[in-house]
Chains A and B, each alone.
Chain A
């Protein structure tokens, strides 16, 4: 995990995009907290700089779904 974070940091994507949490199956609140934390982190970091849509407004998953339905 640490090595993969290092690889991501080296190539400029940033180590903070990857994290590992250890959560017991019985600890649902911990799972929710981890998901929220990672979501906040991802939002703060912004979209993947390699995404071809980079620079334009990001398409949120709901819009993608709508587009797929329309097609």
Chain B
């Protein structure tokens, strides 16, 4: 899922300070799971803003709404009507959700409440680690389920480099060397031979932004010519 962190409160407050009617729009998917942008966190932010503005003698109208996903038009479409009563919107979604929300017709100025961090996993409650860089070409089948693009800071496809110190990474000695891990895993599984062929150059050309994917079943609908 997408992992994000909440922006410092002062930054959020400064962004919406000029407005009197503020809607906080939450997202009930990834950012709700990583405890930064779901219904509860929307409530927390609303309370904080009310308390902070209250001390300045201001009582702005602060509304709260949380949708299933802000990266899906069917869920955010109804917000076009909701925002009619507001001057500004704070979105607690990831960067994708914030942009999709801002694209809606009749949308008011949208401000992000989060810094989107990475695609990662839930190690334990409140503890998330990165696993995927969405690099357009997955090598996990060859590398024993350990990603050389993400887990190796140099994103080496043919590792390890000479910098590993007894299986630890020279960039951050707290981390294991991804390529040492890959080697050990494949050795355990008896398929070391599969990393002998040199992996070709990573198709960085495909990573040019903004990316686009059209499912093969929908090619006719979106008139894709091959």
Contact = CB atoms under 8 A, between A and B. Distances in A.
Interface of A: 7, 10-13, 49-50
Contacts of A49: 54-55
B54 A7 contact: no
A12 B44 contact: no
B49 interface: yes
Contact of A7 (B10, B44, B55): B44
A40 B10 CA distance: 30
Contacts of A10: 8-10, 48, 52
A67 B196 CA distance: 86
Listed from nearest, the 3 A-B pairs whose CB atoms lie closest are A10-B9, A11-B52, A11-B48
Given A10-B52, A12-B52, 11 more contacts: A7-B44, A7-B48, A10-B9, A10-B10, A11-B51, A11-B52, A11-B55, A12-B51, A12-B55, A13-B51, A13-B55
10 contacts: A10-B9, A10-B10, A11-B49, A11-B51, A12-B51, A12-B52, A12-B55, A49-B54, A49-B55, A50-B55
Nearest to B49: A11
Contacts of B51: 11-13, 50
A9 to B, nearest CB: 9
Interface of B: 8-10, 44, 47-49, 51-52, 54-55
Contacts of B8: 10
A13 B48 CA distance: 9
A3 to B, nearest CB: 9
Contacts of B52: 10-12
Nearest to A54: B55
A10 B55 CA distance: 12
Contacts of B44: 7
A13 B47 CA distance: 12
Contact of A50 (B48, B49, B54): B54
Identify the interface centre among A10, A11, A12, A50: most chain B CB within 10 Å of its CB.
A11
A41 to B, nearest CB: 19
Identify the interface centre among B9, B44, B49, B51: most chain A CB within 10 Å of its CB.
B51
Contacts of A7: 9, 44, 48
A13 to B, nearest CB: 6
Contacts of A13: 51, 55
A5 to B, nearest CB: 13
A10 B49 CA distance: 10
